[in-house]
Structure 1
Amino acid sequence: MRRRAWLGHGAALAALPWLTAPAVVLAQAAVRGGTLVVNLEPEPSSFLFNAATATILFGSVNDGLVTYDAEFRPVPSLAESWSQSPDGLSITFHLRRGVKWHDGHDFTSADVAYSVLEVVKKVNPRAGAAYSAVVAVDTPDPHTAIFRLSEPSPVIWSILSSAETTILPRHLYEGTNPLINPWNQKFIGTGAFVFREWARGQHILVERNRNYWQGDVVPLDRVRFRVIPDPGARLAALEAGEVHYTPLSVVPPSDVARLRGVPGLTVETRGYGTFVPVFFFDFNLRRPVFQDHRVRAAFAHAIDRQGLADTVWYGLAKPATGPIPSAQAQFHTAETPQYPFDPGRAEALLDAAGLRRGPDGVRLRINHFAMPYGDVLRRAAEYLRESLKRVGVDLQLVNLDVAPFLRRIYADRDFDTYSSYYSASADPQIGVTRRFATAAIQPGVAWSNGTGYSNPEADRIIDASRTEIDPERRRHLLIRLQDLAQRDLPSINLLELQHFSVLSRRVQGLSTAVDGYAKSLSSVWLAR
């Protein structure tokens, strides 16, 4: 917890001279020019924060208040310095002068105030809860933004980059629903690259920002984000050199061992330290059948999690013991109720719940929606279907694109079960507690509390952990939450996933910091 405590001392951070240097330093050896081709799968529905793929886009087109260094310490970006009051109830950001939105308008504190209060707090499923303590943002002048807090909130120091604290141009968003604003499809940002074109189903093109506030430091001429849904075509494009960078594990894990030996390619697992996903199986608790704990426990006993890791992820995953992954060592515990693979126990529980096999051997027919993030997640859903079939459950798979998947699960709530993953992010308050908080049941908000789980005890624990500044007490609260989540079992925590990228050896300057996947591509260049 030393790192997190250190982050809380904003005044001390602002006093360090190295924090005033530009975040991007162009290496002398960098080759200027060229087009970096990035495979983006799945194609996002918009630039706004509804998917990890949108985050990769957004980091290059828009800047945040800060970025983070290799130790996850905040480094100035749109904010060039900051200070925090001794009582922790205000944080003052001094904003960089001379920054322009891509349409020529000035970036000001009004953009920060609007974005935090009207967008991040209200509709960002990850960062919104972390900003609950921010009750106002004062703007005494165009270059000063003061966050006013109702209580200390150490987690804020983990979410100030563009990946979480999305700063939008107020002049294009104010008075609209930000989730459906048409500028989400042709985004205007402050970042190193300027949006040029979105050919749906084909590519998104961004070009070097020649008026970037950091100067003429971007080596690449442009970045083309290609959409290649077919896994075979994706592999062929990589091996032929037509694609230079494929992030977020969209290459089949079965091919990773072979790709490590392909000349000219590199498999990289660094850069995902704040994106450790827990893959889970969610029940719609509004369905009467899933309100019986015996049914949920039977499903858990029917799934061989180690088999799932080995068969579908080829070792690039391991069984989860709860909702907080072991990568968050300061909060994680393995001492939670477990549901070992035991088909006999699963059958007995289903019998006890009154779900006996019919003449065709089926006890229950339900639908299941697979997270639409590539072939591996569809294969995982097929593994789950076969596992449950052995105990008499007919899991009927439904495969949708991203937008209809999000609408069906989080807006219509019209599903029986689904499988997905949430990134634990830099702190459980961002990526874990929203799965279990009653306040996170927000119709239409993607990646929120999909099950509809509501438990006053869980809410009390989550609320207390949000404001607890003593590291050990906060740890114990989150251990209690893990235990309760495993006991109540609104969701089966299946695996901890290891994300990876495949890239050409021509790609240089790509960040491998803990949040590298979400950083701008402004320092990347292509070797000849």
Structure 2
Amino acid sequence: MSKSFEMNRRGFLGSLAAAGLVPAGMVASGPALAQDAGGILRTPFWPAPTYLNSAISTSGPESFLSPKFYDGLLGYESGMVPKPSLATAWEISEDGLTVTFTLREGVTWHDGEPFTSHDVAFTFMEVLKVHHGRGVNTFANLTSVDTPDDYTAVFNLSKPSPAMMRALDSRECPILPAHLYEGTDIMENPVNTAPVGTGPFKLESYEIGSAVVMVPYEDYWDEGYPLLDRFIVQFVPDPATRAAMLESGQTDAIFLGMIPTQEILRIAEMDGFEMTTTGFEAMPSGLQLEFNLENEILANKLVRQAIAHAIDTNWILENVFYGMGQTGASPLHYDQRPFYTTEGVPSYPFDLAKANELLDEAGYPRGEGDMRFKLMLDPSPWGTESINSSAYIREVLRQVGIDVEVRQQDFAVFVTTVWTERKHDLVLYTATMGVDPTIGVHRFYLSSNFQPGTGFSNGAHYDNPEVDELLNAASIEMDEEARIAQYAEFQQIAYEDLPIVKMVDIAAAPTLASTRVHDFAPDALGALGSLKQTWVEQ
């Protein structure tokens, strides 16, 4: 017997609120109840995006902006409960090898063309399986998408894919217009920066590096939404300026921790502001230091383990993240339960003496200037955490004789330097781990995910056949206990090899907003969703 799903969103949320499981204020009121709905929402952001399309880039700016223009097949309520979006119903075969989606009728693209199953098939087979950093793994077993009619899409899988049904939202898998992408160079298509979606907002203007202005799509399928009259995202590089803009009323909300944590905590205590960490179940994230194993020095496991011992990750947690998270202890995030474990996983406590001992054993004695060798560290310009952490890492590694140069670049150059040109030694960045390890973690460790040109993939060039076998098996295993065992063994092996050392498992990124802003964290995606329910008091 197959499993079928069809859900009424308002009824579902209403039942949760009635049961006291979610605050009543978190239930989107809808246009009829939000009598003052509308307004202009202004938010600063950084870095500026390379694209406005998260189907071809998993970086932070694209992940925030793209879901406003595009829809996914599904959305997710709190608890990652699936809800309809472009798909109104779905059915999974008993063997897990076929998923049939019934698509919403009457939906149009922003240019007026009709949305059909052909758009779904094209997006998954030609874009997400090929160009999306996480999609390469998530949809590895997707062999074809049948389109028996305009409103039916049948996913055919070579093997079961338990993670797939948790990855079909507008951020992770935005559906693209086939009529504008077919027959083109996907990565160079001008629609990537002039989006034409089915989502609640359409592009009014885009000044590269300066601002994106969105306005409601008048023919949006979800009648009455979006509630905002205009949505303005301004790209502001200085975090102190972003904080001052919020405090002075020049902007209305800060999403995804776009100002330093100490400023978030300070402003949250002021009248007229509120903070929440809800609405980010779909993005457990971690700060991780990745080694380029093509570097002869870093190819030596003893060196990598020495560097891990030389860094006090608790210092970074307390001084950069202000305690909002846990120190890293595994390739997985602590919120990726039940798969996360530290049992049997090698640990690297802060120990400068041990670090020096390992570096000596690796054959790198101190030389001129008391240094052993020199490395380049590239911190991500996303937010402030990587840059602030890199200053500490540079100084502490000097204490064990490693001369580290920190190279700061804008986001596009950073991605190109690390994942395309591979002109790096160490790279420090925040990574989304995913609601399932298959979605977010596999991409960093599978040898098949070494794909120069694809950002936030296997940049270490890590290749361990045993790890490949474990991860490939876990991606199709339907028995949860068996998956738990597979991931436990993976964590032990990967943290012994240590192509990546986790600095911090970050707690949910806080949203800080004026109390005039309403319904900004309505579901599991929070600010990484459409924000179509959000409105601002006039």
Structure 2 counterpart of 1:384, from 365, 369, 393? 393
The separation in 2 between residues aligned to 1:159 and 1:236, in whole angstroms, is: 36
| Change over 3 Å in CA distance of 1:10–1:256 after alignment to 2 | farther
| Change over 3 Å in CA distance of 1:56–1:301 after alignment to 2 | same
Give the Å deviation of 1:33.
2.9
SS in 2 for 1:360: helix
- The answer (yes or no) to whether the contact 2:386–2:430 under 8 Å persists in 1 is no
The separation in 2 between residues aligned to 1:225 and 1:250, in whole angstroms, is: 12
Give the Å deviation of 1:359.
3.0
Q: Quick check: 315-324 or 429-438, which moved more? A: 315-324
Q: Quick check: 29-38 or 305-314, which moved more? A: 29-38
- The answer (yes or no) to whether the contact 1:64–1:166 under 8 Å persists in 2 is yes
1:87 aligns with 2:95: yes
The separation in 2 between residues aligned to 1:32 and 1:13, in whole angstroms, is: 31
State the match for 1:202 in structure 2: 210
State the match for 1:3 in structure 2: none
The separation in 2 between residues aligned to 1:21 and 1:195, in whole angstroms, is: 32
State the match for 1:320 in structure 2: 328
State the match for 1:175 in structure 2: 183
Q: Deviations over 1:317-359 (max 9, x none)?
A: 3211101111112101012100111001111111122211123
- The answer (yes or no) to whether the contact 2:49–2:209 under 8 Å persists in 1 is no
Letter in 2 for 1:223: F
The separation in 2 between residues aligned to 1:10 and 1:97, in whole angstroms, is: 24
| Change over 3 Å in CA distance of 1:238–1:504 after alignment to 2 | same
Matching of residues 471-486 of structure 1 within 5 Å: 471-486=480-495
- The answer (yes or no) to whether the contact 1:210–1:216 under 8 Å persists in 2 is no
1:414 aligns with 2:423: yes
Q: Quick check: 355-364 or 298-307, which moved more? A: 355-364
Q: Deviations over 1:132-163 (max 9, x none)?
A: 11101011111111111111111111011111
1:432 aligns with 2:437: no
- The answer (yes or no) to whether the contact 1:356–1:363 under 8 Å persists in 2 is yes
The separation in 1 between residues aligned to 2:411 and 2:368, in whole angstroms, is: 37
Give the Å deviation of 1:365.
0.8
State the match for 2:362 in structure 1: 353
Structure 2 counterpart of 1:119, from 104, 114, 127? 127
The separation in 1 between residues aligned to 2:263 and 2:522, in whole angstroms, is: 22
| Change over 3 Å in CA distance of 1:38–1:454 after alignment to 2 | same
State the match for 2:512 in structure 1: 502
State the match for 1:521 in structure 2: 531
Give the Å deviation of 1:398.
0.6
Q: Quick check: 295-304 or 158-167, which moved more? A: 158-167
The separation in 2 between residues aligned to 1:512 and 1:217, in whole angstroms, is: 14
State the match for 2:81 in structure 1: 73
The separation in 2 between residues aligned to 1:13 and 1:348, in whole angstroms, is: 58
SS in 1 for 2:334: coil
- The answer (yes or no) to whether the contact 2:146–2:154 under 8 Å persists in 1 is yes
The separation in 2 between residues aligned to 1:199 and 1:283, in whole angstroms, is: 35
Letter in 2 for 1:202: S
1:248 aligns with 2:256: yes
Structure 1 counterpart of 2:312, from 289, 301, 304? 304
- The answer (yes or no) to whether the contact 2:78–2:279 under 8 Å persists in 1 is no
| Change over 3 Å in CA distance of 1:381–1:60 after alignment to 2 | same
- The answer (yes or no) to whether the contact 1:82–1:92 under 8 Å persists in 2 is yes
- The answer (yes or no) to whether the contact 2:91–2:99 under 8 Å persists in 1 is yes
| Change over 3 Å in CA distance of 1:505–1:17 after alignment to 2 | closer
Structure 2: segments with no counterpart, 5+ residues: 14-26
- The answer (yes or no) to whether the contact 2:31–2:224 under 8 Å persists in 1 is no
State the match for 1:5 in structure 2: none
The separation in 1 between residues aligned to 2:32 and 2:389, in whole angstroms, is: 42
State the match for 2:5 in structure 1: 13
**Alignment length, in residue pairs?**
519
The separation in 2 between residues aligned to 1:31 and 1:446, in whole angstroms, is: 42
Structure 1 counterpart of 2:454, from 434, 439, 445? 445
Give the Å deviation of 1:508.
0.3
Give the Å deviation of 1:20.
10
Give the Å deviation of 1:510.
1.2
State the match for 1:6 in structure 2: none
SS in 1 for 2:298: helix
Letter in 2 for 1:12: S
Q: Deviations over 1:32-80 (max 9, x none)?
A: 3321112222111111222122122111111111111123111111111
Q: Quick check: 448-457 or 211-220, which moved more? A: 211-220
The separation in 2 between residues aligned to 1:10 and 1:371, in whole angstroms, is: 45
SS in 1 for 2:390: helix
Q: Quick check: 186-195 or 346-355, which moved more? A: 346-355
1:42 aligns with 2:47: yes
Structure 1: segments with no counterpart, 5+ residues: 1-8
Letter in 2 for 1:476: A
1:423 aligns with 2:432: yes
The separation in 2 between residues aligned to 1:57 and 1:311, in whole angstroms, is: 29
Q: Quick check: 24-33 or 477-486, which moved more? A: 24-33
1:29 aligns with 2:29: no
| Change over 3 Å in CA distance of 1:422–1:33 after alignment to 2 | same
| Change over 3 Å in CA distance of 1:149–1:296 after alignment to 2 | same
Structure 1 counterpart of 2:496, from 484, 487, 500? 487
Q: Deviations over 1:250-294 (max 9, x none)?
A: 211222331121221122211222211121111110111111111
State the match for 2:16 in structure 1: none
SS in 2 for 1:242: coil
The separation in 2 between residues aligned to 1:312 and 1:68, in whole angstroms, is: 31
Alignment TM-score, normalising by the size of structure 1: 0.95
Structure 2 counterpart of 1:394, from 399, 403, 413? 403
Q: Quick check: 99-108 or 272-281, which moved more? A: 272-281
State the match for 2:19 in structure 1: none
Give the Å deviation of 1:366.
1.0
- The answer (yes or no) to whether the contact 1:332–1:479 under 8 Å persists in 2 is yes
- The answer (yes or no) to whether the contact 1:435–1:449 under 8 Å persists in 2 is yes
1:239 aligns with 2:244: no
SS in 1 for 2:68: helix
Give the Å deviation of 1:26.
3.0
Q: Quick check: 445-454 or 507-516, which moved more? A: 507-516
